[in-house]
Chain A
Amino acid sequence: MELVKLEKIRKEFPGVVALDNVSFSLNKGEIHALVGENGAGKSTLIKILAGIYTPTSGKIIVKGKEYTHLTPHIAQNLGIAVVHQEVSVIDTQIVAEALFMGEIAQGSGFVNWREMISKSEKLLKSLGLNIPAQKKVGNLTIAQKQLLEIARAVFQNADIVIMDEPTSSLSEAEVEFLFKVIKNLKDKGVSIIYISHRLPEVKKIADKVTVLRDGKVTGHLSRNEIDVDKIVSYMVGRKLSFKYGSHQEFRQRRMKNRKIGEVVLKVDHLKSGKKVKDVSFELKKGEILGFFGVIGSGRTETLKTIIGADKKDNGTIVLHNQLIKFNSPYHSVKRNIGFVPEDRKDEGLIFTLNLSQNISLPTFIKRSIGGIFGWIERRVEKKIALNAIEKLKIKTPTIDSRVDTLSGGNQQKVVIGKWLFNNSEILILDEPTRGIDVGAKEEIYNLILDLALSGISIIFSSSELPEILMLCDRVAVFNAGRTVAIYDVDNVTEKEILQAATT
């Protein structure tokens, strides 16, 4: 039975057509994956279903009723719920409150805590989730928060659940658990639209796959036709320079002519706060050093301590044979160290500034023009922006466009672009390809290699082992705040690395 049908949907924004003649249908109890590069139109489509956007033309048919557009209210009444990529729960609430969000007052107007908690516990149990209803949301792990969001959707009697990149913050074990929960939902008759860049996962869980590219549907596959390479070719429309998942070829072709020099950065027994217990490593000139570990292993905190964003409690950091003490990121920026944070929306971009203003910010901090009241030369600002846009192939209407309307991949490119003009000597990237599609990932990998070839030393922190194996010369494995091993990527097995990271 067709639950949702989108017919010939077209959505225009100023200067761009986000969706063109898109048709999509979802059957009851079906897990339908929606894939495509960033900017292909996936999140636009989802926002139309959620009632946040209004289509320029086309029909929306939900449970037999026809609409020209939805509103969030109508969507909710129709049983549509969205579980977002970036977890948006309120840390100060307890689990039961989060589930009941919006429905708390019961009859007499007073909050009936006992009933709330018992109902919550029943729900959580029925979904197989081992989360205490009285626990504070802020104390849950990211994985648990994600599951909480799904539970909330179910609680609000959603039978059409849209999941946007639900596994981007989860470890392998947590992903397995999530899939169990999803299959559980499917058995209960809930239909799911599953958006993800992780194609092997899509292959595992989806009944159907719809592929979008540049706002159009370019492919539609059902269960037995699902093949990762086929999906990729529909998504990208061109041959990739690396076979998805196979890194040897990429390394061989791109890794020749590499010159790795002397040690530029040496960190010894770094300790900071609760998350960084004992970290030591060396970074050589022109090298790409990987940081690998599960989420929460202390990589981000280590990087933040190095650039001066977190306070160092103990240990030494030596840059070019000089002992350094950075009190704030200002100092590391001045010393030509670039930092691309994990959370681009929260820490990487300033939405009230436009594209060229964002990109040029760190460069202007450094260039000493006229002292503290230094004049901003528009000519220079343009140069910086154009340089980044060209090198990173950032898709944007103009160099002064807003950044909040860019796709995730393009936003990430802007954040990386901040450091390109800067004569950065060291570039630190924290999970730079999280939530980014294959095409943009490839562009970023190539860029990182080009930078390394030109003599820049790179620290690449990631929880995706394949990209570490493909891109890095050596890898420092993190486990609970310590660097437990440092391997030469060409001389180690995946198994060894995983073992070091998880035991």
Chain B
Amino acid sequence: MVSAPALRVVVQQEDFKLDDLLAQMRHGRPQIGAIACFVGTVRDLNQSDTVSSMFLEHYPGMTEKSLEAIAQKAIERWKLESVSIVHRVGLLEPLDQIVAVATASAHRQDAFESCQFVMDFLKTEAPFWKKEQMADQTRWVQARASDDEARERWL
């Protein structure tokens, strides 16, 4: 059975269940033999400060387009059956899930590599911004040079 790779992008406030995401990806695609997934979560500590919550702002419209374009690039570069990206926005607390990226393929190498690729581009191109709430102040998270370097290795 041959079908075009499935691409799913969701931006939402609500939490997500990884099990459901994977089940949806695998449904009707017995050719899948490997799924790599990454889940990003809210830490309670950043730069030695205790973070009580964070707010994720984004650019509605561009966010979805940007994530779809990144998933599409992965599909063109690796042999993939399915790519799913879920990213939360709004108010999040330590232990909360922020993002899930899952890539499915017949074999693990394509799944592993493309999952990293999608995350490296998401971190540097998708229009999200984090604002952290500490005990007595708020601060915008600064972009890190190491994230740019992680993206550049794919170019």
Asked if chains A and B come from one complex, the reply is no
